[in-house]
Amino acid sequence: MSDPTSKALFARAKELMPGGVNSPVRAFRAVGGEPVFFREARGAWLVGADGARYVDCVGSWGPAILGHADARVVEAVQQAAARGLSFGAPSELEITFAERVRELYPSVEMMRAVSSGTEACMAALRVARGATGRDVIVKFEGCYHGHADALLVKAGSGLATFGVPDSAGVPERAAAATVTLPYNDQAALEALFATRGHELAAVIVEPVVGNMGCVPPAPGFLEAIVRLSDEHGTVSIFDEVMTGCRVARGGAQERFGLRPAMTCLGKVIGGGKPLAAYGGRRALMEQVAPLGPVYQAGTLSGNPVSVSAGLATIAQLTPELYAHLEAMGARLEAGLVEGARAAGVAATVQRVGSMLTLFFVDGGVRSWADADRSDRARFGRWHAGLLSRGVYWPPSQFEAAFLSREHGVDEIDRVVAASAAAMRELG
């Protein structure tokens, strides 16, 4: 690595944190080399510890839809912090936030704020089990819903990156009630409901997968999840932690015209602060304590500083923003495709709005089996080529890249040029 400052910081970090990082995918093991440490982020750019600048295509893994350090968000956070960092008691901000979420997601009649996507998904599944009196949950290969025990079964994200199908430390009995199906396999889903529909408490899905790379749903697949779940008294859960307010203002359910029974949100709705939420039909959410028997709590849930960042972000999610994101996403997609074609490199770009992935695989990716064919070594070399040219891309073949309002033609064309050069070096 050419950055001596990051190298020194990483050496210190490895003495104090597992792998030197606080989240596995940051460690760069999937692409080789060592991670870049950053000291500042503004707009569409990151500044490394040594002062080098990078066009950011990670966006804090999705939340930075407005770009980094947006003035209105920063001001809202400063004002909220001056009034108190945490109350541990109700505030009007929480009500306003819930009202805004319900405006964006009509399927969310009631909600509960939490601090992370993992919490949101874990709680939603607990509600589903409590409301139905059933134990079995269904998830899809390559979909990651946080690190709760029952969900670390053929998950995506860092687990896909490192080729680990399950996590050590998870008792077999914790995962025994989790059934995993191939993503986009409607026939397998229908067959499961036909034989075990009476056992299924919930079906949870990333409506557009981002944790095995960007994989859109096949026509009819999401519709089948909602329909079959309703028919069998099962709770359909859209994990929109990544897609929420990203692929459309109202997330994937707005984009595809669907209303699941429950929704999990995070990332964009928190404006870069630790904030997430789960919610859904009133009858389900009334099962949550103190109204019902399903217990869930959190000391920092609805934190006033985080909620203020979320509200300031949501207020700026305009039709013009999404038109810009669509245009820049299309420009980047076309440029990446052309760069790979010109270099004679087999690659596929998949995009939904402003989230996209370049897979080093020939042909479309519809499932984890398709994604798993990607040339990881070639991706690692391409990633290094981008980094050396001032582009920060997700350090994993199986993570989506994200654009922001601050990505303009200049930034997109820099990424395209860097990719084309890196592709030529692959040979």
Name the β-bridge partners of 114.
276
Name the β-bridge partners of 355.
352, 402
Q: Which two tokens stand for residue 412?
A: 């997109």
Please state the length of the chain: 427
Q: CB of 55 within 8 A of CB of 411?
A: yes
Q: Which two tokens stand for residue 94?
A: 């929480």
Q: Which one of 70, 105, 185, 267 is the catalytic residue?
A: 267
Query: Is 372 a residue of the active site?
Result: no
Q: Which one of 56, 70, 185, 239 is the catalytic residue?
A: 239
Q: Which one of 105, 144, 322, 392 is the catalytic residue?
A: 144
The rounded distance, in Å, linking the Cα atoms of 264 and 44 is 27
Query: Is 154 a residue of the active site?
Result: no
Please report, as a single letter, which amino acid is at residue 214: C
Q: CB of 383 within 8 A of CB of 389?
A: no
Nearest to 276 by CA among 408, 124, 420: 124
Please, is 232 exposed, middle or buried when counting C-beta atoms within 10 Å of its C-beta (0-12, 13-18, 19+)?
middle
* CA-based radius of gyration for the chain: 21
| DSSP letter, residue 352 | E
- C-alpha neighbours within 13 Å on the C-beta side of residue 316: 21
Q: Which two tokens stand for residue 180?
A: 């995993």
DSSP string computed for 88-120: SS--HHHHHHHHHHHHH-TT-SEEEEESSHHHH
Please report, as a single letter, which amino acid is at residue 49: A
Helix (H) or strand (E) holding 368: helix 368-371
The rounded distance, in Å, linking the Cα atoms of 37 and 174 is 36
Query: Is 144 a residue of the active site?
Result: yes
Active site residues: 144, 239, 267
